[in-house]
Chain A
Amino acid sequence: MGAIFTPGLTVTEHHIVQKDRRLPIEGDVDVEVGDVVEADQVVARTSLPGKVFPANVANQLGIDPGRLKAYMTKDVGDSVVKDEILAETPGFMGMFKSEAKAIVTGTIESISTVTGMVILQAAPIPVEVDAYINGRVVEVIPGEGCVVQAPAMMVQGIFGLGGEVKGEIANIEGGAHEVLDPAHLKADHAGKIVVGGAYITLKGLKRAVELGVAGIVTGGFDYDDIKELLGYEVGVAITGGEDLGLTLIVTEGFGHIDMAPATFKLLQSKEGRRASINGATQIRAGVIRPEVVITHDDEEASAEKFVPPEPTGISVGDTVRGIRAPWFGKIGTVKSLPVDLMAMESETKVRVLEVAFADGHDAILPRANVESIER
């Protein structure tokens, strides 16, 4: 099995976070290497080409497309306002004129003398990219964006819905095994990132949307509820663009699973701190996990681009978590790493490791079925 996906989720108090801030298409970058930026500061901007509206002007005039240019009153590149005349035929002694009007305000993109089509492009839509986190610009990709780097607390989730939001961390009452239902949510959670629990009910989530909660970080969620929430099933784990009203991050998986103690403790300690979270998940080559980032703004952010060390495999003594039945969600430490393949109950022959689980059990399980918890 490839090692690409075995790296565990990062759950750490101190981490050098680098964020690529890129425009979807070419544009202008407003910052330079070394600049200190705030999370809400715009670092790059551009304008997306506006929507395109084709109209068959030759047919509207009732002429052969080949002669269209002769009757056009505007040319490629000209800007027009809605209902402005684009083309007209002279008619007969001022009568029987026919004309074609612009259906939208914009510019003329092209005029076709084969199909008779005139393509209008509406006004461009401005796009801005902010810094997302407080930090320092360590690299500028000309025309595209920059890389912002900062020392920060970093917690990666396993699956998320919704895009980037920022807000204050608000912990709910109760422990890591709490079920987040509407009773836990209060009016002053509006605009905040609510953290806690092992599971959020559909009702709880709907209540949070009503209240205007910015984000929710919890242990688990029912796979069924996604369909209920979005109106479609997420068949392939590529998310981030959902219009949910908030950003949801689950740290453990689908079902009712206690949030890992380390994660829970770390987030508990950040009550009231401003966090940047992103639900975008992409489980494919080039994996993207949802994340909670809280920058340590009191520390001096280095202007040097930090080069992360190559990931290492699991070794004896590491803390790991089971990610497949029957050990799902259980945490333990690696006791040994046998070299030989072993047959599991399912008769599948796999590479294994021996784990001493926190509840005192020892077990042998496939290496692919654990993830290391980085600290």
Chain B
Amino acid sequence: MTARWLTLLFLLALASPAFADSAPSDAANSDDDDSSVIGVGNDSAGDDDDSAAGLEAPPGLMEAAAVAEGSMADVVKVPAPTELTVTAPKHNSGLNLDLSWTPHPDVEAARFTVARAESPDGPWEMRVEDLTPDITTYTDKVAEDPLNKGVRDQYYYRVLALPRGLRAQADEANLTKPADRFAFLDAHANSTPAIAGEPKGVWLNTSVGFLLMALIVLTVGGLMFWFTDRARKGKEVFIRRIPGIDAIEEGIGRATEMGKPVLYVPGIDELQDIQTIASVLILGEVSKKVAEYQSDIIVTCCIPLVREVADEVVKAGYYQAGYPDAYRSTNTRFISSEQFAFCAGTNGIILREKPATNIYLGRFFAESLILAETGFVNKSIQIAGTAEATQLPFFIAACDYTLIGEELFAVSAYLSGDPRLVSSLKASDWIKVFCVASIIVGTLAGSFGMDFVVQLFTAAGH
């Protein structure tokens, strides 16, 4: 599998209309969520008028509610919901119970309240007070402890249909303690009978989404182990040839023949940037090779901390190659934290010390072309690599070899041949294959109106 083509496919897939389609639908979902949150917020303020309008209750009921508002005596009980069921979710961990009920068809309650008890006679504990009339399900968490400690075999539930204005009265009465408040509400509203539910847990979640997730995780892990094992046993793990990486050794050779140093620029971003990390890892391998050739390497840095790390890495490279005595700390240089001052300083080094080979790996911005052009004029072999898409065209045009995007992250595995790195590289390649394949299948299926793939992944997401 060629990582380069994968990258390209991935980019194409990102740009495809199908992907764009899925984005708005996501947004729509999240809107729903938001509105429910807002709804809850409004209610707690106690302003039923606003919320009622916001909830767009049927006009007939609106009038009735307006009449009902006022004194406590005006509050008329509304019929309780019917068909309350309490079931354990299918793929339950033993912590939740699903409630479902049917509101009375004729009269709409202002709010539903759910209460739970450990016996059918109480005491009742209010679980949620203000479910809007369009909500007819509720998932109750019976315990927080994942080990299910103290969870009872059975719980009892009732759902109260609160008439309009009742909660306002409760507020007026300043009923803040949950138990008191529930007692008040219970007294003035109709309730379903107490229904029992058993929070039974299952050992294995066999939902499609979860299984898909599990399959992906296991496959990834398995691939890693398999490739690592193969690599350890000395079997060749094929990585396609990346000319840009092979060229690094060639560039070092050229520098050796010409009696000139190698220049290495690890980007201009902070140390914690992933590209800088990758670059510093590569620097270790490069400096080892340079030491083997008994040549010199100059590293220019834009961030003081990067300079310190780079220096250590170069030193380690020389030690590993068995030439600790050839290491020169002064060749790892901090130039400036200012982008263009750094750029000018590095250009100065290119022009004065005339390195035979320039290696730019890491995160680059506007200075990329300035550096690369100066190097080209100096007739250096130049190897660049960045995941910064905007800078790639400049590097490709001005350098001999350019590592595109992900190739940058593959370099250290490629150079060191360390079985662990190589196998994770290989495994992640296969995952990319899977991702790209999913995107293609999803796009095609989506284009023909079949959204099962999207649903599959949505389920996995939940």
Which residues of the partner chain A approach B325 to less than 8 Å between Cβ atoms?
Answer: 56, 59-60, 62
**B14 interface residue per 8 A CB criterion:** no
Interface readout for B314-326 with A: 1 if CB under 8 Å, 0 if not?
0000000001011
Which residues of the partner chain B approach A62 to less than 8 Å between Cβ atoms?
Answer: 325
Chain A count of residues within 8 A CB distance of the other chain: 4
Alpha-carbon separation in the docked complex, A62 to B330 (Å): 13
Q: Chain B residue with minimal CB distance to A116?
A: B325
Alpha-carbon separation in the docked complex, A59 to B324 (Å): 9
Alpha-carbon separation in the docked complex, A62 to B325 (Å): 8
Q: Chain B residue with minimal CB distance to A61?
A: B325
Which of A56, A59, A60, A62 has the most B CB atoms < 10 Å from its CB?
Answer: A59
Alpha-carbon separation in the docked complex, A60 to B326 (Å): 9
Our count of residue pairs bridging A and B at CB distance below 8 angstroms stands at 7
Give chain A nearest CB distance to B238 CB in angstroms. 29
Which residues of the partner chain B approach A59 to less than 8 Å between Cβ atoms?
Answer: 323, 325-326
Residues from 295 to 351 in B contacting A, C-beta threshold 8 Å? 323, 325-326
Give chain B nearest CB distance to A288 CB in angstroms. 40
Which residues of the partner chain A approach B326 to less than 8 Å between Cβ atoms?
Answer: 56, 59
Residues from 36 to 87 in A contacting B, C-beta threshold 8 Å? 56, 59-60, 62
Alpha-carbon separation in the docked complex, A59 to B325 (Å): 5
Q: Chain A residue with minimal CB distance to B326?
A: A59
Q: Chain B residue with minimal CB distance to A56?
A: B325
Q: Chain B residue with minimal CB distance to A60?
A: B325
Alpha-carbon separation in the docked complex, A56 to B325 (Å): 8
Q: Chain B residue with minimal CB distance to A58?
A: B325
Alpha-carbon separation in the docked complex, A59 to B323 (Å): 9
Which residues of the partner chain B approach A60 to less than 8 Å between Cβ atoms?
Answer: 325
Give chain B nearest CB distance to A53 CB in angstroms. 15
Q: Chain B residue with minimal CB distance to A57?
A: B325
Which residues of the partner chain B approach A56 to less than 8 Å between Cβ atoms?
Answer: 325-326
Q: Chain A residue with minimal CB distance to B328?
A: A62
Alpha-carbon separation in the docked complex, A283 to B326 (Å): 48
Give chain B nearest CB distance to A351 CB in angstroms. 52
Give chain B nearest CB distance to A89 CB in angstroms. 14
Alpha-carbon separation in the docked complex, A59 to B291 (Å): 13
Alpha-carbon separation in the docked complex, A60 to B325 (Å): 6
Q: Chain A residue with minimal CB distance to B324?
A: A59
Alpha-carbon separation in the docked complex, A60 to B324 (Å): 9
Alpha-carbon separation in the docked complex, A60 to B327 (Å): 11
Alpha-carbon separation in the docked complex, A89 to B326 (Å): 17
Alpha-carbon separation in the docked complex, A308 to B325 (Å): 62
Give chain B nearest CB distance to A58 CB in angstroms. 8
Give chain A nearest CB distance to B294 CB in angstroms. 9
Give chain B nearest CB distance to A14 CB in angstroms. 59
Alpha-carbon separation in the docked complex, A143 to B316 (Å): 52
Alpha-carbon separation in the docked complex, A60 to B323 (Å): 10
Alpha-carbon separation in the docked complex, A56 to B326 (Å): 9
Give chain A nearest CB distance to B330 CB in angstroms. 11
Give chain A nearest CB distance to B319 CB in angstroms. 13
Give chain B nearest CB distance to A117 CB in angstroms. 11
Give chain B nearest CB distance to A189 CB in angstroms. 43
Alpha-carbon separation in the docked complex, A73 to B397 (Å): 56
Alpha-carbon separation in the docked complex, A62 to B324 (Å): 11
Give chain B nearest CB distance to A60 CB in angstroms. 6
Interface readout for B273-297 with A: 1 if CB under 8 Å, 0 if not?
0000000000000000000000000
Alpha-carbon separation in the docked complex, A56 to B323 (Å): 10
Alpha-carbon separation in the docked complex, A260 to B458 (Å): 87
Give chain A nearest CB distance to B322 CB in angstroms. 11
Q: Chain B residue with minimal CB distance to A100?
A: B325
Give chain B nearest CB distance to A88 CB in angstroms. 15
Give chain A nearest CB distance to B256 CB in angstroms. 14
Give chain B nearest CB distance to A365 CB in angstroms. 49
Alpha-carbon separation in the docked complex, A222 to B396 (Å): 61
Give chain A nearest CB distance to B286 CB in angstroms. 20
Alpha-carbon separation in the docked complex, A278 to B157 (Å): 104
Residues from 303 to 331 in A contacting B, C-beta threshold 8 Å? none
Give chain A nearest CB distance to B119 CB in angstroms. 84
Give chain A nearest CB distance to B5 CB in angstroms. 44
Q: Chain A residue with minimal CB distance to B327?
A: A59
Alpha-carbon separation in the docked complex, A87 to B326 (Å): 18
Alpha-carbon separation in the docked complex, A62 to B323 (Å): 13
Give chain B nearest CB distance to A3 CB in angstroms. 50
Q: Chain B residue with minimal CB distance to A55?
A: B325
Alpha-carbon separation in the docked complex, A123 to B141 (Å): 86
Alpha-carbon separation in the docked complex, A56 to B324 (Å): 11
Give chain B nearest CB distance to A116 CB in angstroms. 9
Give chain A nearest CB distance to B332 CB in angstroms. 16
Give chain B nearest CB distance to A167 CB in angstroms. 45
Interface readout for A12-52 with B: 1 if CB under 8 Å, 0 if not?
00000000000000000000000000000000000000000
Alpha-carbon separation in the docked complex, A56 to B291 (Å): 14
Give chain A nearest CB distance to B327 CB in angstroms. 9
Which residues of the partner chain A approach B323 to less than 8 Å between Cβ atoms?
Answer: 59
Alpha-carbon separation in the docked complex, A182 to B325 (Å): 57
Give chain A nearest CB distance to B287 CB in angstroms. 16
Give chain A nearest CB distance to B211 CB in angstroms. 54
Alpha-carbon separation in the docked complex, A62 to B329 (Å): 12
Give chain B nearest CB distance to A200 CB in angstroms. 36
Alpha-carbon separation in the docked complex, A329 to B185 (Å): 117
Give chain B nearest CB distance to A62 CB in angstroms. 8
Alpha-carbon separation in the docked complex, A62 to B328 (Å): 9
Interface readout for A130-166 with B: 1 if CB under 8 Å, 0 if not?
0000000000000000000000000000000000000
Give chain B nearest CB distance to A257 CB in angstroms. 41
Interface readout for A177-219 with B: 1 if CB under 8 Å, 0 if not?
0000000000000000000000000000000000000000000
Give chain A nearest CB distance to B224 CB in angstroms. 37
Residues from 264 to 322 in A contacting B, C-beta threshold 8 Å? none
Give chain A nearest CB distance to B235 CB in angstroms. 24
Give chain B nearest CB distance to A118 CB in angstroms. 12
Alpha-carbon separation in the docked complex, A62 to B326 (Å): 9
Give chain A nearest CB distance to B51 CB in angstroms. 80
- Offer 7 A-B interface pairs, CB within 8 angstroms, sorted by A: A56-B325, A56-B326, A59-B323, A59-B325, A59-B326, A60-B325, A62-B325
Query: B-contacting residues of A (Cβ < 8 Å)?
Result: 56, 59-60, 62
Query: A-contacting residues of B (Cβ < 8 Å)?
Result: 323, 325-326
The 7 closest A-B pairs by CB, nearest first: A59-B325, A60-B325, A56-B325, A59-B326, A56-B326, A59-B323, A62-B325
